[in-house]
């Protein structure tokens, strides 16, 4: 097993809380980081940030006015949901401030990865014991009746685990591609094992697309590195072997492609259908209001067979459309595109991959208050890992080529 620095990173306790224990013992949807938001707010203020809540209040005010004028089904739930979204915003802001001040982010990634892998080993040892219920989720495909187990660890849902691990998986994959070594390969395996065991095929597809598209964007620069070419060939061979043989991964992949996977259908087709039906009850432009989809969607879920047991929409864009309408969706996309150019995402291959991953996640899953998705967005929009800046990679490739000719 790779060894990280013996000195524990000062942000390791918070990183471990976020990645490993954030929902342990809490009701569905509540996280410890969310409960700590008031303390994080004062920490951000103490760190020098001013008017932290101003952007959130300014952007949400027009929706408050429009939605109240169209009528609120449950004012109390509306208030609670608005406060919850505000707390998630504070969480994201605090992460952004911390990220700007971290000088050794790679060491933090290494240490929290080791902790996560240690927990994964415990889960694998308990796989066939009564203790398996702590770490594994048993599911059944509603269309085929097939039973399967997915690694959950201590979070509430396997796909959420995959989303949490996405920044780590892509980071260690890129670091391995740009500078292969046994140590870097070890860290990549420590993240890849729990990611694969979560059986989040949507997550796997998104990570694959993010890596492929970001590599394609810098093809000229990266192809000059022999390690990139070798890594690309190996990855293609692994994918072909996995999908071309008879195993649980290839079987479920075939079901997803054939449109027979109930989990995938719920997060995509059914989510958009339900969100449209809900938004139409008040306003397609402004939506039904914060948290109101749970109330107004119950009657739709109860009377129509659309793959849902509750009116909680497992799709960020669909959830945004239901509660904030078409204006909310357009505003969300406009902010993402603006920040893409404003923060020069394309200057760094890791940030580019983070942007693609977050952009795809919001259309195929996630939810409006998902802090894991916002963490990926922040990693995309914040300058990190200068060794993955495309200019640095280009200069490094030139030095390697020059060295070969001397």
Please say if the pLDDT value at position 402 is more than 80.
Answer: no
Angle between helices 75-101 and 371-381 (to 10 degrees): 40
pLDDT > 60? residue 405: no
Confidence band, pLDDT 50/70/90 cuts, at residue 41: very high
| pLDDT tens digits, one per residue of 127-176 | 888 888 889 988 765 555 566 788 999 998 898 999 999 999 999 999 98
- Contact between 319 and 368 under an 8 Å Cβ cutoff? The reply is yes
Higher pLDDT pick, 38 / 228: 38
Pairing label, strands 147-151, 136-140: antiparallel
Please check the confidence at residue 307 and state whether its pLDDT lies above 70: no
Least confident of 9-23, 194-208, 297-311, 339-353: 297-311
Instruction: For residues 4 and 112, give the distance between their C-alpha atoms in angstroms, rounded to a whole number.
Output: 10
Residue carrying structure tokens 């899953």: 365
CA-CA distance, 326 to 21, in Å (whole number)? 35
Per DSSP, 389 falls in state B
- % of residues, the chain, pLDDT over 90: 53
pLDDT at 213: 85
- Per-residue pLDDT, 111: 96
What average pLDDT does the segment 310-332 reach?
91
pTM (predicted TM-score): 0.89
Is 223's pLDDT higher than 70?
no
pLDDT tens-digit series, residues 86-131: 999 999 999 999 998 888 899 999 999 999 999 999 999 998 888 8
| pLDDT of residue 208 exceeding 90 | no
Note the pLDDT tens digit of each residue in 362-380.
Answer: 998 888 999 999 999 999 9
- Helix or strand holding residue 107 (H, E): helix 105-125
Instruction: Say yes or no to pLDDT of 398 above 80.
Output: no
Average pLDDT for residues 262-269, to the nearest whole number? 72
Question: How many whole angstroms separate alpha carbon 3 and alpha carbon 9?
Answer: 14
Q: Is pLDDT of 20 > 70?
A: yes
Residue 334 has pLDDT above 70, yes or no: yes
Confidence (pLDDT) at 112: 96
Contact 120, 127 (CB under 8 A): no
Percentage of the chain beyond pLDDT 70 is 82
Residue 390, pLDDT > 80, answer: yes
Q: Which of 312, 241, 264 is nearest to 141 (CA)?
A: 264
**Half-sphere exposure in the Cβ direction for 283 (13 Å, CA):** 20
**Residue 16 confidence (pLDDT):** 95
Instruction: Please choose, from the candidates 87, 90, 9, 103, the residue with its C-alpha nearest in 3D space to the C-alpha of residue 43.
Output: 90
């Amino acid at each position: 097993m790779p060894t990280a620095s013996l000195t524990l990173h000062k942000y390791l306790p918070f990183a471990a809380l976020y990645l490993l224990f954030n929902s342990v013992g809490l009701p569905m949807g509540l996280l410890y980081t969310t409960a700590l938001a008031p303390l994080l707010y004062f920490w951000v203020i103490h760190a020098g940030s001013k008017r932290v809540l101003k952007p959130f209040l300014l952007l949400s005010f027009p929706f408050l006015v429009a939605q109240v004028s169209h009528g609120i089904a449950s004012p109390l739930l509306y208030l609670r949901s608005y406060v919850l979204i505000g707390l998630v915003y504070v969480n994201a802001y605090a992460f952004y401030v911390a990220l700007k001040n971290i000088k050794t982010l790679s060491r933090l990634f290494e240490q929290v990865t080791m902790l996560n892998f240690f927990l994964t080993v415990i889960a694998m040892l308990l796989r066939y014991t009564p203790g398996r219920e702590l770490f594994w989720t048993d599911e059944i495909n509603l269309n085929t009746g097939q039973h399967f187990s997915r690694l959950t660890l201590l979070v509430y849902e396997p796909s959420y685990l995959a989303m949490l691990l996405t920044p780590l998986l892509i980071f260690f994959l890129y670091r391995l591609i740009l500078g292969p070594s046994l140590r870097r390969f070890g860290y990549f395996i420590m993240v890849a094992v729990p990611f694969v065991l979560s059986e989040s095929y949507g997550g796997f597809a998104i990570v694959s697309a993010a890596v492929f598209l970001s590599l394609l964007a810098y093809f000229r620069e990266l192809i000059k590195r022999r390690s990139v070419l070798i890594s690309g060939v190996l990855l293609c061979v692994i994918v072909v072997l996995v999908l071309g043989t008879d195993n649980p991964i290839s079987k479920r992949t075939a079901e997803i492609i054939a449109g027979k996977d109930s989990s995938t259908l719920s997060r995509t087709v059914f989510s958009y259908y339900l969100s449209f039906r809900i938004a139409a009850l008040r306003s397609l432009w402004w939506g039904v209001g914060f948290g109101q989809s749970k109330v107004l969607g119950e009657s739709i879920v109860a009377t129509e067979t659309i793959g849902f047991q509750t009116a909680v929409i497992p799709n960020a864009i669909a959830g945004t459309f239901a509660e904030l309408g078409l204006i909310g969706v357009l505003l969300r996309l406009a902010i993402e595109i603006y920040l893409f150019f404003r923060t020069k995402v394309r200057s760094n291959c890791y940030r580019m991959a983070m942007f693609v991953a977050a952009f795809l996640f919001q259309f195929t899953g996630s939810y409006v208050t998902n802090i894991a998705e916002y963490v990926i967005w922040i990693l995309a929009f914040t300058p990190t890992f200068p060794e993955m800046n495309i200019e640095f990679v280009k200069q490094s490739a030139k030095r390697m080529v020059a060295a070969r000719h001397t």
